[in-house]
Amino acid sequence: MNHKIRTMLQDMATELLGASGNPVQADETYVGGKNKNRHKDKKIEGCQGRSAADKTPVVGLIEK
């Protein structure tokens, strides 16, 4: 995920991050509970283990 974000920013928005020569840090995570902990009517079929099909991705970027 980090690689995709950096590649996109290099091509489309070079003036936004890293233009001043400062390092840019990026991190991502997925937010959402485990399928087995959900109520029976809220479980998603075929979603087990570390599947991200039902989770929301959250990405953060910061220029130091």
Which whole-number Å values give the CA distances from 7 to 10, 51, 64, in the listed order? 5, 25, 19
Element (H, E) at 57: strand 56-63
pTM of the model: 0.53
- Grouping H, G, I as helix, E, B as strand and the rest as coil, residue 27 is strand
Q: What is the pLDDT along the chain (64 residues), one digit of tens a residue?
A: 777 777 777 766 656 666 667 787 888 888 887 878 888 888 888 776 667 777 888 988 888 7
Q: List, in sequence order, the alpha helices (H) in 1-64.
A: 2-12
- The whole-number pLDDT of residue 16 equals 65
Residues 58, 64: Cα–Cα separation, whole Å: 20
* Whether 58 contacts 31, CB under 8 Å: yes
